Structure 1
Amino acid sequence: MLKRRDVLQWAGGAAVSLLGAGSALAEGSPQDAKNAIQPFSSTTVLDAARALASKSFSAPDADLPGPLSGLSYEAYVAIHAKPEGMIWANDPGGFVLEPLHRGFVFTTPMQINLVEDGLSRRLTYDAGQFVFGGVNMSAPPVNLDFSGFRAMHRGDDGSLSEIAIFQGASFFRSLAPGQNFGVTARGLSLRAGDPRGEEFPFFRAVWIEKPTRAGNVLVVHALLDSESVTGAYRFTLHPGDATIIDTECTLFPRVDIDNIGLATMSATSLFTPLERRGADDVRGAAAEVAGLQMLTGAGEWVWRPVANRSKLQISEFVDQNPKGFGFLQRTRAFNAFNDDVQHWERRPSLWIEPIGDWGLGSVELLEIPSDAEPAQNIIAFWRVKKGLAKGQSAEFAYRQFWCWSPPTSPPNAVVIGSRGGRGGAPKQRRFQVDFEADFLGDPAKASEIKANLTATPGRISWVRLFPAPEQKRLRVLFDLDPNGETACEMRLTLEAQGAPVSETWLYRWTS
């Protein structure tokens, strides 16, 4: 256990300050602060981020020694920490950390620091604490730092379950009990989908507070850096039926930034019943999420199915002070996918609840063509309308729910399925949208419902409603006539007595 007196005794009290460590990181010399025991407070990472922002950007050394350079995925995943390399494995605090080795695509070093009793200690890399599988490590490397870390939570029965992985740029993932990893979050995205090219901020270092069993939370502080911006982050992980991650950040732009993405998330969608472009596959679908749900600042619930497109599609949903948005996997039946390996039905939904005033901006959705299953080709984030100005810090906070279903849901009918196919006439497309709600089980109420359906451009040439009271569902079947257009925006809501009784279904058809 670290004590404050250790700092006074260490090197005659000449411990390296964290501001100095931050400067060393900025200069690309992370080893300058090796093994330092330093005071740590709530402003430590904030001060380091501010100091970094005042200096020119310096990329970290991502080179790896020969045996680790160019590793295949299979060779890389065979590398893992030995039991003695696990952190807090024998501690009653309820969490265990596994440092992750560098290699494969994870070449950028991350400095890991452990915080206890107001002091931080840098975790020293030791090749002897890793199993390297088939990689020839006859000359063990030194001073590599790590590519990230895996966090596990110890249940009441003593078993360990993964709750989060922080690894690669500013990427991290989490999940709820019983799920497989799926959606990936980012600390920040810059110029995503921009013709100028995307910039990928990364976490240079993390400071992880030693947890207590009574507190049952894991607090991770992170120092973000890139050519355009630095940032101080605080992630508070709460395990439970859903894993909740409270995220707080302060950003320090080095330059004016006009395309910044908050609460960025990405997921895979190869094909679904709505869009099976080029899919010759025995499975019913291959997708981590079904769509993007939004609760606007005005209180409207919106459902936008996502798809693997033939060309890049960027959709912008303008809003002010959004109440929530996220990628949801609404299909939880194995038979919808029939994939015994991937189990897409077990992938987490990720719901974001902004905290505070986010002002004017938009939820942006990118749908990127892909034929590679590992590629996460669907991206969403909140884009700040005014961007960020050089030299002016900005603070944001939000809560993430990694869950089976979000903590809040539309009070009316929700979309449980969307399908697309050939229409009833040449060059037309037919769509099927299924809604579900308790009130749809009442035949009298279901008979009052009408479909408010529009297409711009193009036109809706045919529409029919099929109530299914015994299932508490209603199906809307309609044909879209594009009238020669290559893209049409469709909007559908159920109405009764002139008022909406469902969330709003949006979709962009493209040729």
Structure 2
Amino acid sequence: MNRRQLLRGSAAVSAAAILPRAAHAQPSAAPPFSPSYVRELARALAAKPFAAPDEKLPDALKNLNYDQYRSIRFAPEKALWRAEKLPFEVQFFHRGFFYKNRVDIFQVVDRSVTPVSYRRDDFLFGEGLGQWPDADLGFAGFRIHAPINKPDYYDELCVFLGASYFRAVAKGQTYGLSARGLAIDTGESKGEEFPVFKAFWLEKPALNASSMVVHALLDSKSAAASYRFTIRPGQTTVFDVEMALYPRVDLEHAGLGPMTSMFFFGPNDRKDFDDFRPAVHDSDGLSIFNGRGEQLWRPLNNPHDLQVSSFADVNPGGFGLMQRERNYLAYQDLESSFETRPSLWFEPIGDWGEGAVKLFEIPTKEEVHDNIAALWQPKQPLTAKSEHIFTYRLHWGTDAPKADALARFTRTGIGSRGDDSKLFVLELMGDRLKGVDPKAIKGVVTAEKADISNIVTQPNPVTGGWRLSFQCSVKGQASIELRAFLAQNDAPVSEVWIYRWTP
């Protein structure tokens, strides 16, 4: 757990603090579990006025500082299913500090639902935490462990903690960016609404299971929803997601498949940073496979002002916040290991209609803050008192899951050429460019309201790829939209690089 993860919880808590107290999600006499069990709970919940999550905690827990909260650890030997040596086991997070919301967790075994009870003895506590009465406090969240790197060691695979945030890793990776269950009014002037997961149901896996199923109930002032996550760890960790959304009001700015990340600086944007490291980021770009068959690459920025980019589409092929740079020398951070952070790819299943992939870039002066968000926003509002079903996959790994025949942009470097011009140097890699006559490759570069000059394409003998460079006049410009790709005989041989330059 890091400080940025903790900070996510504070946003959700502050958004819910003025709302009334919630009742527990689980009915006292639960019927046998079925595929529609949580969906029906969500439908019934949406028909009632919103009630805020239960935040009641003893003062000793409510007033914990960061270090005190981190000193509370779940005892690994008490993990759910550990004694049965199943392929998955679960550990739980204590409530306190920013994580005041009570989350109820249940186990599903042969369609029978039983609560996972809070037991103080299941946790290890640091010194100086004070005393509080022994009571059923519930949990703040949980994490799933599985042997993804070594067969005899259960690594942390994914975590659900804070509002509707969750994140995962694949083999050989460390935690980075996060996904969310639902985003509402992201980037809107009235302020964002933060839905919360209020209850989970964990299906007990079989002895030889290769996946684990988690059900979740989400609630917010504007909507309730149910989720079924089928989690499959591996070289790429995949979440199959089935979502049923029940708005209480028309949702004009619903964000589906939302993901959040951090971009502090990189070779394209480090003019304000005095740091020994060449780059600091969990993700370096937004990749989009749009419904028209284009493959887009948008390098990320840490701008001086909020930047919102919208990429209109119909039935998108997918999008993701990617960490393409995998070389330690690009970061040189022995502790953070940014080169091992996962990329996250959102793959919609079925007909998603018209909408837009939206990218939000938020200024930050500290790397502990997530300042990047991406999501799919339907063009039409999601109507109240209706059921909206969405199915999609989340791929946590090193790359997008689709085969990519086009050359890809791997680095964006920007430098000054006097006061009035910027030099852009773009590196590409891909089999499509190997053995190609350099004279047959053309760089195509366009810009809105700016002059482009000195376009040069050439093989890069050091990387084995190609380089595209050009100059762009920037004098007097508040922002410039740029677009570039490589072509052979007027046909694209690379994805399309798009970029918003700001001073």
Shorter chain as normaliser: what TM range? over 0.9
Corresponding letter in the other structure for 2:269: E
Tell me, what secondary structure is at the counterpart of 1:46?
Answer: helix
Alignment size in residue pairs = 483
State the partner residue of 1:14. none
Residues 407-446 of structure 1 deviation map (CA, whole Å, 9 limit, x = unaligned) = 22431111011111212x32211111011122433252x3
User: Relative to structure 1, is the Cα distance of residues 419 and 70 closer, same or farther in structure 2, using a 3 angstrom cutoff?
Assistant: farther
List structure 1 segments (4+ residues) > 4 angstroms apart after TM superposition.
31-34
Contact preservation (8 Å) 1:274, 1:420 = yes
Shift of 1:500: 0.8
State the partner residue of 1:139. 132
Tell me, what secondary structure is at the counterpart of 1:477?
Answer: strand
User: Relative to structure 1, is the Cα distance of residues 135 and 399 closer, same or farther in structure 2, using a 3 angstrom cutoff?
Assistant: farther
List aligned pairs for 1:418-497, cutoff 5 A. 418-423=412-417, 425-442=418-435, 444=437, 446-468=438-460, 471-497=463-489
List aligned pairs for 1:323-362, cutoff 5 A. 323-362=317-356
1:498 counterpart = 2:469: no
State the partner residue of 2:264. 270
- Distance in 2 between the 1:274 and 1:347 partners? 19
Corresponding letter in the other structure for 2:490: G
Corresponding letter in the other structure for 1:341: E
Tell me, what secondary structure is at the counterpart of 2:82?
Answer: coil
Corresponding letter in the other structure for 1:435: L
Shift of 1:469: 5.2
Aligned partner of 2:108 among 105, 115, 127 = 115
State the partner residue of 2:16. none
Structure number, greater radius of gyration: 1
Normalising by structure 1, we get a TM-score of 0.91
- Distance in 2 between the 1:228 and 1:384 partners? 16
Contact preservation (8 Å) 1:204, 1:224 = yes
State the partner residue of 2:217. 223
User: Relative to structure 1, is the Cα distance of residues 273 and 189 closer, same or farther in structure 2, using a 3 angstrom cutoff?
Assistant: same
State the partner residue of 1:246. 240
User: Relative to structure 1, is the Cα distance of residues 349 and 32 closer, same or farther in structure 2, using a 3 angstrom cutoff?
Assistant: closer
Shift of 1:400: 0.8
Residues 187-231 of structure 1 deviation map (CA, whole Å, 9 limit, x = unaligned) = 100011111110001111000100113232110000110000000
Superposition RMSD in Å: 1.7
Residues 337-361 of structure 1 deviation map (CA, whole Å, 9 limit, x = unaligned) = 0001111001001111110111000
Corresponding letter in the other structure for 1:405: D
State the partner residue of 1:75. 68
Contact preservation (8 Å) 1:441, 1:470 = no
1:414 counterpart = 2:414: no
1:282 counterpart = 2:306: no
Aligned partner of 1:92 among 82, 85, 91 = 85
- Distance in 2 between the 1:107 and 1:421 partners? 46
Shift of 1:49: 0.5
Shift of 1:42: 1.0
Corresponding letter in the other structure for 1:150: R
Corresponding letter in the other structure for 2:389: E
State the partner residue of 2:254. 260
Normalising by structure 2, we get a TM-score of 0.93
State the partner residue of 2:7. none
State the partner residue of 2:9. none
- Distance in 2 between the 1:398 and 1:135 partners? 45
Shift of 1:177: 1.3
Corresponding letter in the other structure for 1:194: E
Residues 86-106 of structure 1 deviation map (CA, whole Å, 9 limit, x = unaligned) = 111112321110011112222
- Distance in 2 between the 1:437 and 1:32 partners? 52
Tell me, what secondary structure is at the counterpart of 1:67?
Answer: helix
- Distance in 2 between the 1:377 and 1:218 partners? 31
